[in-house]
Amino acid sequence: MEELLGLVAEEVVDVAALDVLLRGLGEGGAALLVELVEQFVSEFPATSAALRESLAAGAFERVAAEAHRLRSSTGNLAVRAMSAACQRVEQAARAGDLARARDGLSALEAAFAVASGALRSYAASAHCRDCTEN
């Protein structure tokens, strides 16, 4: 599966962790993964916009909570770079550090740009493999 992802994507997405997740999901897991990746990819722009809006309003508590919540998704989908960025945003927000939170959010969006394609490729490949095998 790893050869399907580019070098940059490999730094963003933990393919080995995705493999473990996929095995744990059992039969039909790839189809679920496709759904979840699509859900994640389609929801992220709104989440990101909400984070920017909350930051602009100085609503640090809301930013921290939302970053934490997003980190749960990125963690489950093994998007390491996004999880790290979420953590930066969350910690900065808790500290009331606007500049550091903005930097973290930019890093988060940059990581998403790479991760979305990598996740979709991974999930689609896994699904194809499932379809072929069954």
Partner 1 sequence: MKVVIAEDNPIAQRLLARTVAAVAGHDIICVSDGVAALATCEAAVPPDVLVLDWEMPGLTGPEVCRRVRALPLPIQPYLLLVTVRNSRKDVLAGLNAGADDLLSKPIAPDLLVARLRLASRRPGQGTRPAEAIVQALREAKGEGDGELLIRERDVSGRVYFWRGKIGWAQVSNESGSLVDLISPVSQLDPETVRAVIEECQASGAPLTDVLVQWGVLDRAQLRTCLRAWIQRKLELLRGLSNAATLFMPGTREGAEDLSFELDEFLAPDPPRSQRLSLPPPSATSQPRSWSEAFVLTEVPHPEVTALLDQCMPISGIQAAALVDPLTGICLGHAGMDLNPDIAWAMIQNLSVVERQEPTESSLLSTAQHFHVAFGLQRAPRAILYAVFDRGLTSLASAWLELRSKALS
Q: Which residues of the shown chain bind partner 1 in the complex (CB under 8 A)?
A: 17, 20-21, 23-26, 29, 32, 36, 39-40, 65, 68-73, 75-78
The smaller minimum CB distance to partner 1, of residues 5 and 73, is found at 73
The smaller minimum CB distance to partner 1, of residues 68 and 120, is found at 68
Provide the minimum distance between the beta carbon of 67 and partner 1 in the complex, in angstroms, as a whole number. Answer: 11
Say how far apart CA 126 and CA 130 lie, in whole Å: 6
Angle, alpha carbons 109-9-132 (nearest 5°)? 120
Provide the minimum distance between the beta carbon of 52 and partner 1 in the complex, in angstroms, as a whole number. Answer: 20
The smaller minimum CB distance to partner 1, of residues 75 and 117, is found at 75
Nearest C-alpha neighbor of 95 from the set 67, 126, 123: 67
Calculate the alpha carbon distances from 21 to 14, 46, 90 in Å.
Answer: 11, 26, 25
